[in-house]
Amino acid sequence: AQKVTQAQTEISVVEKEDVTLDCVYETRDTTYYLFWYKQPPSGELVFLIRRNSFDEQNEISGRYSWNFQKSTSSFNFTITASQVVDSAVYFCALSEARSNSGYALNFGKGTSLLVTP
Amino acid sequence: DAGVIQSPRHEVTEMGQEVTLRCKPISGHDYLFWYRQTMMRGLELLIYFNNNVPIDDSGMPEDRFSAKMPNASFSTLKIQPSEPRDSAVYFCASSLFRESPLHFGNGTRLTVT
């Protein structure tokens, strides 16, 4: 079963537009962590944010903001006034404990964002 | 900090050959992860270590894959024998704690012909 769903496969916007990337997750744990990573065309994976399940405060970092809503199991990511350099694949990920005391960081399939001039 | 270092960056090999991917985690990080990225399956966790001990290898595809971490500063992922379906980008990542953000290496792009 897919633990993290990023329904938007590709998004294309024009520079300066705002864009929201959706992330819906599924877990039975009461304690879990949510992450967003960016993968630019060069291929590396860059950490953007981590949120724990007990902190539903929205977060803003420059042009980036995140909306965490447990009621809808969503952790959406908004880029305000998008720029060409924002073009990348963005991954949402869920960290939860496995029943056998293991650990899993499940990534969504990613949303490819293209920002054109 | 040098970050997570992976080698080689690219590897092209023929089916049946042994492939060894290498990773040096960030100093002081207790957790090391190996991920595989393909278009079809996205990012998959293969195995992770805590303090050099393999904790969960349930993501390792089959017996052809093996991973070791002989010390805190080095890990290998070996595929023997390699097959074309193993072609992917393999990422190594490390973290301070289990739920800490992962710091990824630049990946190894493996092509098996």
Listed residue (A36, A105, A18, A104) closest to A75, CA to CA = A36
Q: How confident is the model at residue B56 (pLDDT cuts 50, 70, 90)?
A: confident
Contact B98 A103 (CB under 8 A): yes
Q: Do A47 and B101 touch (CB under 8 A)?
A: yes
Partner-chain residue, chosen from B56, B99, B104, that has the shortest CB–CB distance to A33? B99
Task: Tell me the per-residue pLDDT of B18-45, one tens digit each, with 9 for 90 and over.
Answer: 999 999 999 999 999 999 999 999 999 9
Task: Flag whether residue A110 sits within 8 Å of chain B, measured between CB atoms.
Answer: yes
Residues present in chain B in total: 113
**Helix, strand or coil, per DSSP, at residue A24:** strand
The partner residues of A34 in beta bridges, in order of sequence, read: A51, A94
Torsion sign (Cα): A113, A44, A1, B64: positive
Q: Tens of pLDDT along A46-64?
A: 999 999 998 888 888 999 9
Contact A90, A37 (CB under 8 A): yes
Assigned token pair, A79 = 């880029």
At A19 the pLDDT is: 98
Record: contact A109-B89, CB cut-off 8 A: no
Q: Which residue spans within chain A are E strands per DSSP?
A: 4-5, 10-14, 19-21, 24-25, 33-39, 46-52, 59-61, 64-69, 74-79, 88-97, 103-107, 111-116
* Chain B CB contacts of A103 below 8 Å: 48, 55-56, 98
pLDDT above 80 for A99: no
Rounded CA separation B86/B60 (Å): 12
CA distance B12 to B22: 15
Residues of chain A positioned with their CB less than 8 A from the CB of B100: 50
Comparing alpha-carbon positions, the chain B residue that sits nearest to A91 is B43
Q: How many angstroms away from the CA of A47 is the closest CA of chain B?
A: 7
Task: Identify the pLDDT of residue B30.
Answer: 92
Q: Are A18 and A86 in contact (CB under 8 A)?
A: no
Chain B residue with CA closest to A35: the answer is B101
Q: Please, are residues A23 and A75 in contact by the beta-carbon 8 Å criterion?
A: yes
